[in-house]
Amino acid sequence: MSVFCRNARLIDPEAATETIGNLLIEKGKIAAVGDIAEPSGARVFECDGKCLAPGIVDIGVKICEPGERHKESFRSAGLAAAAGGVTTMVTRPDTLPAIDTPEVLEFVTRRAREASPVRIKPMAALTKGRDGHEMVEIGFLLDAGAVAFTDGDSVTVDTRVLSRAMTYARGLGALIIAHPQDPGLSRGAAVTSGKFASLKGLPAVSPMAERMALDRDIALVEMTGVRYHADQITTARALPALERAKRNGNDVTAGVSIHHLTLNELDVGDYRTFFKVKPPLRSEEDRKALVEAVASGLIDVVCSMHTPQDEESKRLPFEEAASGAVGLETLLPAAMRLYHAEAIGLPALWRALSLNPARRLGLESGRLTQGAPADLVLFDPDAPFILDRFKLRSKSGNTPFDGARMQGRVLATFVGGEQVYRRR
């Protein structure tokens, strides 16, 4: 059955345009888009002039299956994603146990198929047990559906191990995703060093730890020729290194979490652990530089870095509390802060939310063009609301935006032409 989405503000990240028009969905794909007439027999979906954009492709979602299902399951994450306009979750392998064999990966794909209303593309660990000693079966895992290889926030210290894994991955065309953070400098750190950290007496890491690790990784990329993505670049100091690596023709991309684009270190305030993320929140100067880097395209991808944590692991003194924040449902409304601040336009924002991540992983989605999968989000960029963490669909409510005034709401989400969410 076909669906005719009428009178939408079409956000096309590929053409970098926003136009008023219609969109026709047929057989799960976008059949036509733009100034098209209503065909007979199609169900009409009235968009009321609201924004229709490709669904978000979120790289780095932690779903706590296997191991910590009380924090998040495929079902709860899937519902949260649908309500947040995320149509593809690219899941992290830092589960218990780590997703480092084809057998565990198959469990993930089976659970995902059974339980999630949105698409799931799993990542696999780069080394066995994510402990940085032996590479995983990259070939088998690719065959089993892994879209990228990453040890998450566990940095591979041994450069020989990493260079071999990169060389092997290059041979298979696999994408490696790393967390650039010097393990020595960042050991035990809870915040970014500076006046705030010193005032609060918290163990801190210099922003330089990120640049050092990125420089190291880029050198290894030059050496091995692997396809490389930095999961989060969060400091101004690391940006010139990223720019240089791209200019020199390396296959390097980078992401940033929405939290680092919309919050800064001072938001931690009186030891609020929901603001403890990894890497820690940075200075306002860093935040501004990152927003500019997303707008210019130097940073390719914006993600939620969705990391569910239960109350117990957050209700602790700041140093002891777990890191991470949920973000599937708040990614889009938080990203609207950048739009309303006139820092980034909607097409450029969707380039980072949908188009670039899809391209990087070789997915067909992320585009608003004929023939692309009908993974779509309809949203009202202006609708105001106050976020209540107890109303989130995620099993864990550890969001730094609890009680925050937000502007921008998802109205409907389509995956493969099927409506998976509709705001009532």
Partner 1 sequence: MSFRHKNLLGIEPLHPEEIRTILDLSDRYVDLNRGTQKHSDVLSGLTQINMFFENSTRTQASFELAGKRLGADVMNMAMQASSIKKGETLIDTALTLNAMHPDLLVVRHPHSGAVNLLAEKVNCAVLNAGDGRHEHPTQALLDALTIRRAKGRIHRLTIAICGDIAHSRVARSNILLLGKMENRVRVIGPPTLMPAGMADFGVEIFDDMAEGLRDADVVMMLRLQRERMDGGFIPSQREYYHRFGLDAQKLAHARDDAIVMHPGPMNRGVEIDGTIADDINRSVIQEQVEMGVAVRMAAMDLLARNLRAVPEGVMV
DSSP state of 100: -
Q: Residue 269: which H helix or E strand, with range?
A: none
Binders in 297-356 for partner 1, by CB under 8 A: 312, 315-320
One character per residue 211-250, x = contact with partner 1 (rule: CB under 8 A):
----------------------------------------
Give the one residue of 98, 124, 202, 303 binding partner 1; rule: CB under 8 A.
Answer: 202
Assess contact for 78 and 109: CB atoms under 8 A: no
Q: How far is the CB of 273 from partner 1 (least distance, A)?
A: 9
Q: State how far the Cα of 410 lies from the Cα of 336, in Å rounded to an integer.
A: 11
Nearer residue to partner 1 within complex by CB, 201 or 249: 201
Binders in 245-284 for partner 1, by CB under 8 A: 270-271
Q: State how far the Cα of 186 lies from the Cα of 167, in Å rounded to an integer.
A: 27
- Rounded to a whole number, what is the distance in angstroms from the first to the last CA of the chain? 23
Could you tell me which residues come within 8 angstroms of residue 386 by beta carbon, excluding any fewer than 6 positions away? Answer: 403, 404, 405, 406
Give the one residue of 204, 212, 214, 363 binding partner 1; rule: CB under 8 A.
Answer: 204
Nearer residue to partner 1 within complex by CB, 70 or 113: 70
Assess contact for 91 and 63: CB atoms under 8 A: yes
Give the one residue of 41, 188, 201, 249 binding partner 1; rule: CB under 8 A.
Answer: 201
Q: State how far the Cα of 77 lies from the Cα of 332, in Å rounded to an integer.
A: 15
Nearer residue to partner 1 within complex by CB, 195 or 340: 195
Q: State how far the Cα of 203 lies from the Cα of 289, in Å rounded to an integer.
A: 24
Q: How far is the CB of 68 from partner 1 (least distance, A)?
A: 18
Q: Is 206 in the site for partner 1 (CB under 8 A)?
A: yes
Q: State how far the Cα of 233 lies from the Cα of 251, in Å rounded to an integer.
A: 16
Strand partners, 52: 10, 378
Q: Is 128 in the site for partner 1 (CB under 8 A)?
A: no
Q: How far is the CB of 205 from partner 1 (least distance, A)?
A: 10
Binders in 161-200 for partner 1, by CB under 8 A: 193-200
- Token readout for 226 is 């692997």
Nearer residue to partner 1 within complex by CB, 19 or 198: 198
- Judged by the rule CB under 8 A, the positions of this chain that interact with partner 1 are 193-202, 204, 206, 270-271, 312, 315-320
